[in-house]
Amino acid sequence: MPSTSNYGADQIQVLEGLEAVRKRPGMYIGSTGPKGLHHLVYEAVDNSIDEALAGHCTHIEVDLNADGSVTVTDDGRGIPTGIHSRTGKSALETVMTILHAGGKFGGEGYKVSGGLHGVGISVVNALSEFVEVTVWREGKVHKQRYERSFPVTELVAEPCLENRTGTSICFKPDTQIFTTGIEFDYMTLSSRLRELAYLNAGVKITFSDRRLELLKSDTPRIETYCYEGGIKEYIAYMNREKQPLHEEVIYVQGERNNVQIEVALQWCVDAYSDNVLGFANNIRTIDGGTHLEGLKTVLTRTMNTIARKRNKIKENESNLGGENIREGLTAVISVKVTDPEFEGQTKTKLGNTEVRGIVDSLVGEVLTEYLDFRPQVADAILEKAIQAFKAAEAARHARELVRRKSVLESSPLPGKLADCSSRDPSESEIFLVEGDSAGGSAKQGRNRRFQAILPLRGKIINIEKTDDARVYKNNEIQSLITGLGLGIKGDEFDVSQLRYHRICLMTDADVDGAHIRTLLLTFFYRYQRALIEQGFIYIACPPLYKVERGKNHYYCYSNRELQELASGFPSNANYTVQRFKGLGEMMPQQLWDTTMNPETRTLKQVEIEDAAEADRIFTVLMGDRVAPRREFIETYGSKMNLTDLDI
């Protein structure tokens, strides 16, 4: 009998304490890659921010240490150190070693907090090689060390000479869990810490990088984030490369039924899409939620009421659409809710239904009063919205024309699309290929069952600086919209209409190829950002070189790979190197083996870590204004390695 049949009571495993976290870390921090690694720091910092929200902490220090560890220190009340009645251990050890233990459930210790499940600091402890905790409280300094979740010293208390309170947590992520490496990325952490400083006005965050070897410097890199203006300054930061329609940022703040609300709004002349960021208890709600729905509803209703009152819209004319009013808007909404309901452990969508009505009424009152006293601001916003409405109407006519034309041609799909036979979008993928010659190779080399090919002729238009009517008239854009099933810009993204769940950009490995890829990414980011946010966009990685030696051949994807391969050959070896200038030079079988075969290819998934920074970079590099772009090139040009450029 095979051993699998011995399935008895002894086979049922009970994971004790934090063992479950070490067994399935992805459940708690999302992944064991870079995202999960940085999540550990966020968990520790969020606890300090919760102290700040409770009014007990004004300064948070985050240090990246030379040994690969991180220290997070605050001047809050300090984690309690007394003996916990139920566990018989100190409250500190209880919080560090037991899941779902924390001060945020009873409603007494914290009124508002981002930590909801009580898994924060205990998960950091479970996934770290060591954690050293220092607590300053009641005139004493308490210290304890943990290794891979277990306490290895007692809680030692000594008299504290200075009059201070607070907590310091120093941890080093465990390489047994984070097998891809434990090196923290400075930019990733700094953008999150800056965001937290904007969301919590007046809290000072000091971020230091003391990894001198990595910095190739004698002095640590130290940045301080402290913004008395809070989210108003955040809006100014995001719009610093744009031209505001009104100088003053519109700001709404209030509290109702224990829900605190902050909203900051500013419209810009030279932006054609909206950038609305939502936060609930300092957590960025990527998938939206009731607070964002409330804001969008009240903006549409209020602006239409003012437009009719100021006779900008006649009686017989229809209302302006929400997307017309939000054109060019940069907005931040931050809500603090006592009992937040998040959908999913990663907390990316707020579910509290009462928040929608509170946002609606509060913002409605303040915005109406603000614009009544500033008619010139109201007029400027409405003029832009009416222009957007007219452009959208023109675009709609252009779209109808596109649809009618495609109906007459009896097929709504673009003629040059070589579709796949599968009708299941989740297994289908489409390659957007530069030019007809590469398209020909790709069509011959693909797996027809689940791979579709859409060749694009030349460079598509830059939609960052083009109005909607022209966008819809462009043949290549028409092909993309109908071929992929993208729907209409500004409408809610409907994933059921998407025809392929892997959209792969496959361009040549030269400057033109990179430019086309950038134009396509700009198109997806501005036309249907949800495609990138939900992980449908990929970049194919074709090889740069083919090396032949005797009967063997090798593909190299970078100059470094080529050098490593060549250095492995004997000094007198004969071999030839072919540089692929374009995909069209590759035989169909070569293209399949290197770039399209799911077994052997490399695909890069396009992600947005920092939405505000992504928006700014698209504006700088692809927008109308030359000065910010020149400044960007002058700032970063000197740091480029010119040998990487294909000139």
Q: Give the pLDDT score at 609.
A: 76
- Assess if residue 169 is contained within a domain: yes
- Assess if residue 343 is contained within a domain: yes
Q: Give the pLDDT score at 173.
A: 95
**DSSP-assigned letter for residue 644:** G
What does 121-148 look like in DSSP terms, one character per residue? Answer: HHHHHHTEEEEEEEEEETTEEEEEEEET
- Domain ends where: 225, 259, 288? 225
- Active-site choice (129, 434, 464, 468): 434
What type of residue sits at position 630? Answer: R
Residue-range definition of the domain harbouring residue 165? 19-225
- Domain ends where: 225, 253, 275? 225
pLDDT digits (tens, 9 = 90+) for 121-135: 888 999 999 999 999
pLDDT digits (tens, 9 = 90+) for 411-423: 456 778 888 999 8
Report the first-to-last Cα separation within the chain, whole angstroms.
Answer: 68
Indicate if 512 belongs to the active site.
Answer: yes
Indicate if 270 belongs to the active site.
Answer: no
- Active-site choice (50, 287, 508, 533): 508
Assess contact for 519 and 476: CB atoms under 8 A. Answer: no
* Cα-only R_g, the chain: 28
- Active-site choice (270, 512, 585, 593): 512
- Assess if residue 573 is contained within a domain: no
**Of the listed ranges 166-180, 251-265, 277-291, 599-613, the one predicted with least confidence:** 599-613
pLDDT digits (tens, 9 = 90+) for 138-197: 889 999 999 998 999 999 999 988 888 999 999 999 999 998 889 999 999 999 999 999
Question: Do 536 and 472 share a structural domain?
Answer: yes
- Assess if residue 575 is contained within a domain: no
- Assess if residue 4 is contained within a domain: no
Question: What is the SS3 assignment for 406-457?
Answer: HHHCCCCCCCCCECCCCCCCCCCEEEEEECHHHHHHHHHHCCCCCEEEEEEC
| Dist CA 322 CA 276 (whole Å) | 13
Question: Do 250 and 197 share a structural domain?
Answer: no
- Assess if residue 564 is contained within a domain: no
User: Coil, strand or helix: which one is 379?
Assistant: helix
- Domain ends where: 206, 225, 244? 225
Residue 452: closest CA among 480, 487, 473: 480
CATH at 592? 3.40.50.670
Indicate if 593 belongs to the active site.
Answer: no
Question: Do 520 and 482 share a structural domain?
Answer: yes
Average pLDDT over residues 492-508: 87
Question: Do 203 and 274 share a structural domain?
Answer: no
Number of domains in the chain: 4
Question: Do 145 and 243 share a structural domain?
Answer: no
Indicate if 185 belongs to the active site.
Answer: no
From residue 20, give the alpha-carbon distance in Å to each of 82, 419, 577.
27, 45, 51
Which of the pair, 346 or 365, is modelled with greater confidence?
365
Helix residue ranges, H only, 254-374: 290-309, 322-325, 353-373
Question: Do 26 and 161 share a structural domain?
Answer: yes
- Active-site choice (379, 510, 561, 624): 510
Assess contact for 464 and 622: CB atoms under 8 A. Answer: yes
Q: Give the pLDDT score at 417.
A: 87
Model confidence, pTM: 0.70
- Within 96-249, strands assigned E span 128-137, 140-147, 150-151, 156-159, 166-173, 204-209, 221-225
Tokens of 226: 């402290």
Which of the pair, 535 or 610, is modelled with greater confidence?
535
What type of residue sits at position 587? Answer: M
pLDDT digits (tens, 9 = 90+) for 40-66: 999 899 888 888 888 888 999 999 999
Question: Do 584 and 479 share a structural domain?
Answer: yes
How would residue 643 be classed by pLDDT, with cut points 50, 70 and 90? low
